[in-house]
Amino acid sequence: MLFDLKPKEKPSDFFNYQEELRLLGSYLKDPQTRLIILRGLRRTGKSSLLRVTLNKSASKYILIDARELATLSRRSFESKLFEKLKSVKGLPAALLDRIESVEAGVRISVKREESLWELLRETKPILAIDEAQMLRGTGVDAFLAAVFDNTDCKIILTGSEVGVLDSFLGKDDPKAPLFGRMYKEIKTHPLAREKSRAFLISGFREAGKRISEEELDAAIGELDGIIGWLTMFGNLALSTKPSTALQRAAKQGALLAYSELRSFLDGRAQAKGRYLALVRILAHKSMRWSELKRAVQIELREEISDSQFTNYLHSLLDYGFIVEKEGIYELPDPLLKKALLEEITG
């Protein structure tokens, strides 16, 4: 169902993004491509694209969502990998026996690591890690570099926090484990207006529900082309009338988007006021660097050095809360904008 809230698994539930689907499929078939990066803002369909592609592909794969790990550590990651290796489809019985003997402690624990490598070499699964940037600083980057160098496994990484993902990949840092490994990249984008419309129409048709032209316009006006917000609206509209569903989706989405910003701010207690002033100003109006800096200084009645101001902008860009297009900074998420403008902060 198009309006199902979970990341999509089947092509029949997956709307549009055919080019991205085709590209990802072709990179998976291409023996030269070993590392694939899927990046895009939150809720633009990365996990869905990844899952639909993996399900369609004939290859064995392991999918780990960094958010499902008990702790963000290499150890926890390796345990999860081991656990998932067991359930890889089409694993030869002999291999499965070996895994089980390792797990039962028949082999001593040093062997565990060895077995993991043996298994990866023999099984050659695609290793897909969703929201990989969360594993920055855990040593998983070094593990992946070893997978890249010593096995034939392909690796797919997705990330919403584009700058953090870059630093996980060691972009611009020759000392980083993954530095210099060649990769192919796919970006997910918000839907264009007409596509958002077509998505809603298809979803409502599939659900056997009616929606008027005005209601469609209102939803697209409020939610823009973020497929995750459109899905949330459609899903709520299954059980209530579209106008109420839109109000609820916008409110719930604004709360969710703000809570993500809040987690970011919580880790930056000292500069919190400055970050907030910055995004609030951008919620009102997109601006160039100098205009924005002036506005923030006026708002806070304090001087901020150029370098410090640039650092603030870079952090917000890295985490995907703002974007920059031709020198103009803006908030890409209409519901984060709404949360800031209407103070829907929970």
* Rounded Cα–Cα distance for residues 70 and 153 (Å): 24
Task: Tell which positions 145-174 bind ligand ADP, by CB under 6 A.
Answer: 160
CB of 4 to ligand ADP, least distance (A): 6
Q: Is 197 in the site for ligand ADP (CB under 6 A)?
A: no
> For residues 13 and 78, which CB has a smaller minimum distance to ligand ADP in the complex?
13
Q: Is 115 in the site for Mg ion (CB under 5 A)?
A: no
- State whether residue 157 is helix, strand or coil: strand
- State whether residue 86 is helix, strand or coil: helix
The pattern of x and - marking residues 26 through 55 that bind Mg ion according to CB under 5 A reads ---------------------x--------
The pattern of x and - marking residues 198 through 227 that bind ligand ADP according to CB under 6 A reads -----------------------------x
- Residue 63: partners with Cβ closer than 8 Å, 6 or more residues away: 50, 51, 54, 84, 128, 129, 130
- Positive or negative, the CA dihedral 5, 7, 12, 18 is positive
Choosing from 24, 28, 39, 40, the residue that interacts with ligand ADP (CB under 6 A) is 40
> For residues 9 and 78, which CB has a smaller minimum distance to ligand ADP in the complex?
9
Please state, as a whole number, how many other Cβ atoms lie within 10 Å of the Cβ of residue 152.
11
Largest CA-CA distance found in the chain, in angstroms, rounded: 70
Q: Is 115 in the site for ligand ADP (CB under 6 A)?
A: no
> For residues 119 and 186, which CB has a smaller minimum distance to ligand ADP in the complex?
186
Contacts 24+ apart (CB under 8 A), 106-109: none
- Stretch binding ligand ADP (CB under 6 A), from 3-11, 53-61, 80-88, 324-332: 3-11
CA-to-CA dists, residue 288 to 41, 162, 187, angstroms: 21, 21, 24
Q: Is 133 in the site for Mg ion (CB under 5 A)?
A: no
The pattern of x and - marking residues 223 through 262 that bind ligand ADP according to CB under 6 A reads ----xx--x-------------------------------
Q: Is 315 in the site for Mg ion (CB under 5 A)?
A: no
Q: Is 43 in the site for ligand ADP (CB under 6 A)?
A: yes
- Residue 75: partners with Cβ closer than 8 Å, 6 or more residues away: none
Q: Is 47 in the site for ligand ADP (CB under 6 A)?
A: yes
Tell me the DSSP string of 262-297. Answer: HHHHHTTGGGHHHHHHHHHHHHH--EEHHHHHHHHH
Q: Do residues 237 and 219 make contact, with C-beta atoms less than 8 angstroms apart?
A: no
For ligand ADP, the binding residues (CB under 6 A) are: 2, 4-8, 13-17, 40, 42-48, 160, 188, 227-228, 231
